[in-house]
Structure 1
Amino acid sequence: MKITNVDIYMLDAGAQRASRRPICCRVWTDEGIYGDGEAGIAFDYAAPAGVGMLQDISRLVIGMDPMRVDEVWQRMFKISFWGQGGGPVVFAAISAIDIALMDIKGKALHVPVYELIGGKVNDSIRCYASQLQFGWNEDVGPRGTAEEYAAICRYAMDDGYDAVKLDFTMYDRDKKDIPNAQCEGFLSNDFYKMVEERIAAIREACGDVDIIMENHGRTDVTSAIKLGELCDKYNFYAYEEPTTPLRPEFQKLVRERVKTPLAAGERLYSRWQFLNYFEDNSIQLVQPDACNCGGISECKKICTMAEAFDVKAQIHCAGGPISTAAALQLTAATTNFAIYEHHFRSTQSSIARLGKYDYQPQNGNFSVSDRPGLGQELSEAAIAEALVHVTVSEP
């Protein structure tokens, strides 16, 4: 079997187009089997770069055997030159191709991807409702007051979830964006009080629900330690991206002062970048994204390495339907699995319609498809309405 060509798409997420432009690929073979992959840079500003990078990376794999996944991965990683720099755009492209190859291999062997990476160990996958400051399901819109934070968490719990994640630093009480500078250094008393008001309201309304505080790297060491006091005081499940991912030692400084387990990994690429965090015990919940850390094959290696350091795993997932399918296949075969992220954006029909199947949890738990390969592919509408479509057929 040989790879013959690669179709690359920037998908139209409709109502979410301004903040989400999923970048996907379909890798074709000379036996008619194809696989779909996704580059994990759908949101923010990198999506157009993902299209260009996928075009260049695809030229490296034309003519190769898609069943030899690690051989193809090494070629993309080393011959691309920029691969060993570990940047998000090049690794998102590598990831998309890798995911598509795992999809092809599963289809060729008539097994789900999880059977290719050790077999299923998790039948029912517990989820948390992620990024509730944006809303949940049909209840869309930013949150401001403490009462609104409590109400949206209660709404998610009524939907069957017993764990939630929120960024308490993103919006002020009037639902206006909080500048990054206000989240750094010496926090004002009013800022600190606002965050605690929200947390206390959630605890009162939702009892022992597991809460993850998400900072998106907006805080620095000084402010992260201060907010970490609240995580400890209110018994949080985890504390995510408290500092910039560019400096592993910063997160270690937070870990030395905060008891709540620290989570990070969605902006780390390849096993080499994760190793520093494992060695200094600055991550307790690792969150690699299969669509930007190097694909399914690399994400599996990262999770296995994490287990050797007593680190639990949660696959980061904030993209389109292919991203969800890849994350679920990995989670099914992850022995150190802790919890699964179901993102607010994934509850929206504008994202769900991009996949042939709409995967949603039931009562806060996912089951994993036993269809061959990923168990998901791009919908006909996603392909027909793509904002960009490029085909690569020559090295």
Structure 2
Amino acid sequence: MKNIFSRLTSSAQPADRREFIRNAGLGGLTLGMLFDGKFEQETEFITQKVKRDSKPSELKITDMRVAVLQGVPFSSPIIRIDTNQGLVGWGEVRDGASANYALMLKSRILGKNPCNVEQLFKVIKQFGNHSRAAGGVCGVEMALWDLAGKAYNVPAYQMLGGKYRDYIRLYADTPEGKNYEEFAVNMNKRKEQGYSFLKMDFGIGMLADKPGMLVNANNWSVKRQWDDKEMGKLGNYATTKHPFTRIQITKKGIDALVEHVGRVRDIVGYDTPLAADHFGHFDVNTAIQIGEAMEPFRLAWLEDLVPWFYTDHWKQISDAIETPTLTGEDIFLKEEFIKLIDAKAIDMVHPDLASSGGLLETKKIGDYAEEKGVPMAMHFAGSPICMMANVHCAAATENFVALEHHGVDVPGWEDLVTGMKPIVEKGFVKVPDKPGLGVELNEEVAKKFLKKGATWFAPTDTWNTRDSNDREWS
């Protein structure tokens, strides 16, 4: 038998022999006969394609460091987790959040196997909370999936159960202009870039300096919806929950918003989905008035009309208007999404993966919504590291609609990573098949975005030791 094999392969190179064996199946010959029962040679042969730079069961976290980037499009702390086998995992704290939210978790994961993603998530999730406070937990979870994928040599989506789609649709904010003519030029630019789903901002902020359009707005800083540095006579508008401002919109104000949205819709056309966000701080009644006025324009959704935690208010609004309602970018973990879904308070969910709990938790949110017939759009405003975490999750979730992209106009945004070029093509991202998240931080480019005064992945030994008892029960 050995002579037959020798004659068949004697003139071939070693690689050719292996190819011959694979293709021919040896005509029924066993490996035992081929290698005369030599176990070591058999093992070497059958594992020749196995990736040898990682032994997942022996992988351990040895370090975690952070570099804070600015202008991507906002501030984004990038997490780097190192291991004993040379594998590096990348994650990202949510835009506008503190890097310390991640660093405080280092002592909880140091020395642990990053492949046990769900187990480690349960250890650290108690240190997250809604909105930016979840940034550390979610950023670490991203990096763990990146490491697990690299250790097992599979893309992150595969570990989430596989993918439903090969391309992820993006939606881009509508770039406004000084006038409608300039806006039309900007909109044509978006269409030329290939974006087939758009979002615009409009609300009471654009009416604040015009007479007769708002009631009770003069003593609030209505144009400062996000900036909490300026106080008005009645308090801080940015941090006052919507129902408590008692700002109302007049018929004249409603007419102005209708004219504005109508002209935008004419520019965009009705073949393109157009969503809306950033309306201002007002109560349920005003939200319903605005929602009813927008119904002729068939908007894809009205986003964050009131804070997400007012479930009853959301149900009142959703029951009163025909345009779909949506919220969720500041919600941490699936439980609060479940409350909104079960109450039939909103028409769509809108998690930000960097706040909602990371890849697996966001998929769980999407899966629950899908069972109840609720679609999922995804909020995102960060670097390509976080985008790719979103892409893998979106690929693995059936009811996904579209992913936000805030960095469209940031020069050099795509160059922040290597391993995928281009990232965005004609308004879509191709789901990568490379291990983990599928990209690596391009340190040469990323250093150009380093926040002023920040240090590039400085040592974090002061965070190595845990100084509290974390148990949540007795």
Asked if these proteins are the same fold (TM beyond 0.5), I'd say yes
CA distance in 2, matches of 1:253, 1:88: 24
Matched, 1:110 2:153: yes
Q: Is the 8 A contact 1:12 1:382 kept in 2?
A: no
Q: 1:26 maps to which residue?
A: 80
Q: Is the Cα contact below 8 Å between 2:205 and 2:279 reproduced in 1? A: no
User: Which structure ranks higher in relative contact order (CA pairs < 8 Å, sequence separation ≥ 6)?
Assistant: 1
Shift of 1:215: 2.6
Residue of 46, 61, 67 corresponding to 1:3: 61
Partner amino acid, structure 2, of 1:331: A
Structure 1 residue 199 and structure 2 residue 247: aligned?
A: no
Deviations 1:132-157 (A, max 9, x none): 2xx2xxxxxx5354444444333322
Comparing 88-97 with 202-211, which one deviates more in the overlay? 202-211
Match of 1:138 in 2: none
Report if aligned partners of 2:194, 2:425 keep a CA contact under 8 Å in 1: yes
**In the TM superposition, what is the alpha-carbon distance from 1:392 to its structure 2 partner?**
3.3
Alpha-carbon distance between aligned partners in 1 of 2:154 and 2:65, rounded to the nearest angstrom = 24
2:102 aligned partner, one-letter code: L
Return the letter of the residue paired with 2:302.
Answer: Y
Task: Give the CA deviation at 1:329.
Answer: 0.9
> Retained in 1: the 8 A contact 2:315–2:343?
yes
Q: Distance in 2 between matches of 1:146 and 1:324?
A: 31
Q: CA deviation at 1:361?
A: 2.8
Q: Which of the pair has more CA radius of gyration? A: 2
Offset, 1:380: 1.0
Question: Aligned residue for 1:320?
Answer: 383
Alpha-carbon distance in 2 for matches of 1:28, 1:360 = 25
Look up the SS of the partner of 2:190 in the other structure. helix
Task: Say if 2:332 is the partner of 1:269.
Answer: yes
Normalised by the length of structure 2, the TM-score is 0.72
State the distance in 2 between where 1:237 and 1:157 align. 17
Deviations 1:291-317 (A, max 9, x none): 111111211111111112211112211
Distance 1:348 1:297, change over 3 A: same
Q: Would the aligned equivalents of 1:153 and 1:164 in 2 still touch at CA under 8 Å?
A: no
C-alpha deviation, 1:240, in angstroms: 1.0
| Matched ranges for 1:233-312 at <5 A | 233-312=296-375
Displacement of 1:113? 0.6
Which structure 2 residues correspond to residues 136-285 of structure 1 after superposition, within 5 A? 142-169=176-203, 172=206, 178-180=223-225, 185-208=247-270, 209-215=272-278, 218-285=281-348
Equivalent position to 2:104, from 34, 53, 56:
56
| Equivalence map 1:352-367=2 (5 Å) | 352-356=414-418, 357=420, 359-367=422-430
- Select which of 44, 56, 71 maps to 1:13: 71
Tell me how far apart the structure 1 counterparts of residues 279 and 417 of structure 2 sit (CA, whole Å). Answer: 27
Instruction: From 459, 464, 468, give the equivalent of 1:391.
Output: 459
Q: What displacement does 1:75 show?
A: 0.6
* 1:370 Cα deviation from its structure 2 partner: 1.4
Corresponding residue for 1:73?
121
Query: 1:185–1:222: 8 Å Cα contact kept in structure 2?
Result: no
Maintained 8 Å contact 2:349/2:374: yes
- Bigger mean CA offset, 281-290 vs 189-198: 189-198
CA RMSD, Structure 1 to Structure 2 (Å): 2.6
Q: In the alignment, which residue of structure 2 is the partner of 1:87?
A: 130
The answer to whether the 8 A contact 2:318-2:347 is kept is no
Q: Which amino acid aligns with 1:330?
A: C
**Match of 1:103, as an amino acid?**
D
Structure 2 gap segments, 5+ residues each: 1-58, 211-221, 226-236, 466-474
Encode CA deviations 1:9-32: one digit per residue, 9 max, x unaligned. 211338x5xxx1111101111111
Tell me if the contact between 2:208 and 2:223 (Cα under 8 Å) persists in the aligned partners: no
User: Take 2:331 and 2:362, find their aligned partners in 1: how far apart are those partners?
Assistant: 11
Matched, 1:97 2:145: no
Identity %, equivalent residues: 26
Q: Is the 8 A contact 1:28 1:34 kept in 2?
A: yes
| Residues 248-267 of structure 1: CA deviation (Å, up to 9, x unaligned) | 22211110111111111111
Show structure 1 runs of 5+ residues with no match. 136-141
Could you tell me whether the CA contact under 8 Å between 1:221 and 1:254 is conserved in 2?
yes
In the alignment, residue 391 of structure 1 is paired with which amino acid? P
Letter in 2 for 1:76: I
Moved over 6 A (4+): 173-177, 181-184
- Does the 8 Å contact 2:130/2:330 carry over to 1? no
**Cα offsets for 1:321-368 (capped at 9, x unmatched):** 11111111111111111222222x343125434333565432222211
Separation in 2 of the partners of 1:363 and 1:158? 8
Q: Which amino acid aligns with 2:368?
A: M
With 30-39 and 276-285 compared, the bigger mean Cα shift is at 276-285
**Cα offset, 1:217, TM superposition:** 5.9
TM-score of the pair, normalised by structure 1: 0.85
- The answer as to whether partners of 1:319 and 1:346 remain within 8 angstroms in 2 is no
Residue identity in the other structure for 1:371: K
Q: Within 2, Cα distance between the matches of 1:308 and 1:106?
A: 28
Q: Given that residues 199 and 275 in structure 2 are in contact (C-alpha distance below 8 angstroms), is that contact kept between their aligned partners in structure 1?
A: yes
Instruction: Name the CA distance, whole Å, in 2 between partners of 1:59 and 1:228.
Output: 48
Change (3 A) 1:258 1:173: closer
Does structure 2 conserve the Cα–Cα contact (< 8 Å) formed by 1:153 and 1:202?
A: no
Distance 1:88 1:162, change over 3 A: closer
Matched residue type, 2:223: I
- Asked if 1 retains the 8 angstrom alpha-carbon contact of 2:172 and 2:408, the reply is no
- 1:39 matched to 2:99? The reply is no
1:372 lines up with 2:435 in the alignment: yes
